[in-house]
Amino acid sequence: MRAIALISGGLDSVLAAKLMQQQGVEVLLINFRIPFCKSYSRAEEAAKNLNVELTSVDISIDFLKTINNPRYGFGANMNPCIDCKILMLSKCKSLMHELDAQFVITGEVLGQRPMSQHRQALETIAIRGGLEGLVLRPLSAKLLPETLAEKQGWVKREELLAMNGRTRRPQMELAKKFDILEYPTPAGGCLLTDPEFTRRLKELMSHGELNIDNIELLKVGRHFRISDSTKLIVGRNERENESVAKLAKENDYLFLPEEVAGPTALARGSLNHGLINLSCRIICRYSDLNGSKESKVTYLKIPAKEQETLAISPLEEEKIVKLRV
């Protein structure tokens, strides 16, 4: 018997897949990628643990449509968990035919998350994902209605578990039994649960600028709204300076301090002479002026090879604060 196991990289999804392997089910591991989640490397580690190849499926475009107006709303921050899981299951539905899989396994635990893992939500997710009766949650299966896999005897219900609630102890004990000694903490995988990130994201959306390139930029640097249609992103350290430069696209402006240490910055949107000046002054503020009243900032518009340099003074703190996103 063959099943698709959704692998986030967290411990629960690994345990669920392991339990199924123990029952002789061939598990195919799928990790769905969205631009807010850095779970792929964790999922790869999990796949090694399960000794199965991992398939990654990018669902970013569909996910962005969901986040604009999720039918089931948001969790504590901007995490539309129910809609997100429905989307993943609906993708699984088409993959099942392609991969000749008979059911789907997830690591969800009843009552573990207030929004998406209560009984009604689990049912809704399966139904709206088009997989009613076909989603087996091995960690809590004994507390949930029988699925087709149990009814058909493909898996033994008596060997499934009855985990319930937010405690992690049963998972940790099971991990020990499976000799899984290292695993990530449950929180922190999805940026949509991070209040600081979602504040920036809301600001981006309020300006109609939601797209994958802009989301990547949201993950680095200090952000400044320098006009209704223009943002400036300023690196906070060497690693971010490199990232900012790498994320630059055609028509973006790149700014670099000249002769002094300071940040790399990127401006995206429409820029005029005044905004270029303002950007240079912000960069100057975060540069190491060594007691000097002004410094030079070089800028260029991608992909232009020619660059210009301005000698400029730093922007005053009170003005900086007003522009900060």
Binding segment toward ligand SF4, per CB under 6 A, in 135-143, 162-170, 188-196, 304-312: 188-196
Binding segment toward ligand SF4, per CB under 6 A, in 79-87, 135-143, 292-300, 308-316: 79-87
Q: Amino acid identity of 42?
A: R
**Residue closer to ligand SF4 (CB basis): 83 or 252:** 83
Residue 80 in the binding site for ligand SF4 (CB under 6 A)? yes
Binding segment toward ligand SF4, per CB under 6 A, in 73-81, 120-128, 197-205, 218-226: 73-81
Binding segment toward ligand SF4, per CB under 6 A, in 127-135, 187-195, 204-212, 213-221: 187-195
Residue 81 in the binding site for ligand SF4 (CB under 6 A)? yes
Determine which residue in the list 190, 201, 220, 254 makes contact with ligand SF4, applying CB under 6 A: 190
Nearest distance from C-beta of residue 67 to ligand SF4, angstroms: 8
Q: Are 325 and 316 in contact (CB under 8 A)?
A: no
Determine which residue in the list 85, 222, 231, 268 makes contact with ligand SF4, applying CB under 6 A: 85
How many CB atoms sit inside 10 A of residue 143's CB?
16
Q: Both tokens of residue 176? A: 């020990």
Q: Amino acid identity of 239?
A: R
Nearest distance from C-beta of residue 85 to ligand SF4, angstroms: 5
Q: List, as one string, the DSSP characters of 170-196.
A: HHHHHHHHTT------SSSSBGGG-HH
E strands, 61-199, in order: 103-105, 135-136
DSSP state of 297: E
Residue 79 in the binding site for ligand SF4 (CB under 6 A)? yes
**H or E element in which residue 82 lies:** helix 81-99
Residues in contact with ligand SF4, counted by CB under 6 A, come to a total of 10
Mark residues 278-317: x for contact with ligand SF4 by CB under 6 A, - for none: ----------------------------------------
Distances (CA, A) of 226 to 40, 309, 323, 325: 34, 20, 6, 10
Residue 6 in the binding site for ligand SF4 (CB under 6 A)? no
Residue 193 in the binding site for ligand SF4 (CB under 6 A)? yes
Residue 192 in the binding site for ligand SF4 (CB under 6 A)? yes
How many CB atoms sit inside 10 A of residue 55's CB?
16
Site for ligand SF4 in 32-51 (CB under 6 A): 34, 37
**Residue closer to ligand SF4 (CB basis): 46 or 192:** 192
Rounded CA gap, 144 and 138, in Å? 10
User: Per the omega criterion (within 30 degrees of 0), is the bond before 303 cis?
Assistant: yes
Binding segment toward ligand SF4, per CB under 6 A, in 119-127, 135-143, 153-161, 190-198: 190-198
233's CB contacts (< 8 A; 6+ apart) are: 217, 220, 221, 222, 223, 224, 244, 265, 266, 267, 268
The footprint of ligand SF4 (CB under 6 A) covers 34, 37, 79-81, 84-85, 190, 192-193
